[in-house]
Chains A and B, each alone.
Chain A
Amino acid sequence: QKEVEQNSGPLSVPEGAIASLNCTYSDRGSQSFFWYRQYSGKSPELIMSIYSNGDKEDGRFTAQLNKASQYVSLLIRDSQPSDSATYLCAVPVLDTGGFKTIFGAGTRLFVKA
């Protein structure tokens, strides 16, 4: 069974620091990778996507992909208390039963003011 794994945390960082969130995936054929943010009591929202090896930056967010190591990460620079949420790594796969996007369990991030 294809899997996506994340450290569940919680990860606690001070305001202004860099938060680093990590994700590994089992399907070597995966071609696209997504990060969703989920605030407590809310539904997930897409914040980043990455398709090629290397870094992709969007504002304070940087996604990093290493397909050889089957590893994707999300860096949040200048972390703010409003960044406190659960961050979900998601990977579309073709598995038994057909096509689907699978999610990791999520990493809880706390940014202390």
Chain B
Amino acid sequence: ETGVTQSPTHLIKTRGQQVTLRCSSQSGHNTVSWYQQALGQGPQFIFQYYREEENGRGNFPPRFSGLQFPNYSSELNVNALELDDSALYLCASSSLDRVKEKLFFGSGTQLSVL
């Protein structure tokens, strides 16, 4: 167990709806990264938060947004859901280290968009 918790574990939404996913980071970690993993693919980087600021962003549209709170927990928000947003969403916490970043993943949220 990594100490990173995500909620909910599963979620079913319909196209056009909005969703919020939550993540609590491991004790001692100040950085949270979010990834999207489609079936049979590697995790795709969405964005990273450090000290409540976005610290890096992948190739995802603006309808993917996030927040980090003073206790380093984080939220991922997705607006106007599309069918292709169906995937496993992974949160990973770490201590900010641009060279040797070791990621500790939560168990993920499986999102299904119908």
Contact = CB atoms under 8 A, between A and B. Distances in A.
A93 B11 CA distance: 32
Nearest to A88: B42
Interface of B: 2, 33, 35, 40-45, 48, 54-59, 88, 90, 98-108
A101 B33 contact: yes
A51 interface: yes
Given A43-B105, A46-B102, A100-B33, A88 B56 contact: no
A43 B6 CA distance: 11
B107 A43 contact: yes
Interface residues of A, number: 28
Given A99-B56, A103-B44, A105-B42, 13 more contacts: A43-B90, A44-B90, A49-B100, A49-B102, A97-B56, A97-B59, A98-B48, A98-B54, A99-B55, A100-B56, A100-B58, A102-B45, A105-B41
